[in-house]
A = this chain, B = another copy of it.
C-alpha cells in the first residue's frame, strides 16, 4: 500500500516548516531563524518528469525539497546516463554546481514536488553572519561526499544482490527518518532507474527482487515493497554471501 510523503500547505518560511530537523535550520536562535526566512522567498511546484535544473544550466540556487522526490543523473557524451541519487523531502540538491557555477547533473521530479529555492549568494552571505549555518552547509556538503563514496564502494565491490540490499536498506532508513514505515513503502523509480543507480541492467534488478522474494526476505508487488526480514537484508550486505 502506498505511503505518500505527508504534504502540508506550502508556507514560505523555514521557521514554520515541519522539515526543520532534516533540512537547514539546525539549532538556530529565533532571530537567526527569522533571517533564514528572508532567504527562501520562492516555493515552486513540479510535476512528474519536470526538470528542476538541467546539465549546463547556470547555477544560482540550491534547492531544498519540501515534498516529493527527485532523481539526479549525469549524461555522458555518447548518450549513456548514470543516476547519481534519489532525493527526498528535507534534502538539499544542487551542491555539485557550486564548483563551476554550472550544473553538472540534472534533477528530474519523480512525482509531484514542492521545492524551496535558496539563492546561493544570499546563503553565502547569511552563512558568514550565522556560524551555525556555515557549519551546517559544510556538513551537508561533506555528507554528500560520504554518501558518494559509499556508492563508490557499492559499485566497485558489491555483487548485484548486495547492491539491491544496500539500496533497500538505505531507502528504509530514510523513510523511517521521516516518520514513515521502514518496512513498507512504494518505490518512486522504475527498475531501469534503480539499475542505472546500482550499475546494473533492469533485468538483473528484477531478478534480484524476485530472488529476495523467493527467500522470503521481502514481498514485491511491482513497486510496492514490504520488507519481511530486515536482518536478512543486512546480513546479505555484510556476509557477501547470503
Q: In the complex, which residues of chain B have a beta carbon less than 8 angstroms from the beta carbon of A238?
A: 77-78
Q: Contacts A99-B146, A148-B145; is A135 near B124 (CB within 8 Å)?
A: yes
This chain: how many copies in the complex? 2
Q: In the complex, which residues of chain B have a beta carbon less than 8 angstroms from the beta carbon of A149?
A: 74, 82, 84, 96, 104-105, 148
Q: In the complex, which residues of chain B have a beta carbon less than 8 angstroms from the beta carbon of A151?
A: 152
A196 within 8 A of B: yes
A8 within 8 A of B: no
Contact B152 A152 (CB under 8 A): yes
Within 8 A of B (CB), among A129-152: 131, 134-135, 137-146, 148-152
Q: Which of B82, B127, B137 contacts A152 (CB 8 A)?
A: B82
Contact A128 B134 (CB under 8 A): yes
A155 within 8 A of B: yes
Q: Which of B80, B95, B134, B135 contacts A157 (CB 8 A)?
A: B80
CB 8 Å contact bits of A85-106 with B (1 = contact, 0 = none): 0000000000111111000110
How distant is A129 from chain B, measured CB to nearest CB, in Å? Answer: 8
How distant is A26 from chain B, measured CB to nearest CB, in Å? Answer: 13
Q: Contacts A98-B142, A146-B99, A149-B96; is A80 near B240 (CB within 8 Å)?
A: yes
Q: Of A77, A151, A152, which is in contact with the most chain B CB atoms at under 10 Å from its CB?
A: A152
How distant is A71 from chain B, measured CB to nearest CB, in Å? Answer: 13
Contact B95 A142 (CB under 8 A): yes
A148 to B152 Cα, complex, angstroms: 8
Contact A199 B157 (CB under 8 A): yes
Contact A131 B141 (CB under 8 A): no
Contact B153 A76 (CB under 8 A): yes
How distant is A52 from chain B, measured CB to nearest CB, in Å? Answer: 16
Q: In the complex, which residues of chain B have a beta carbon less than 8 angstroms from the beta carbon of A139?
A: 98-99
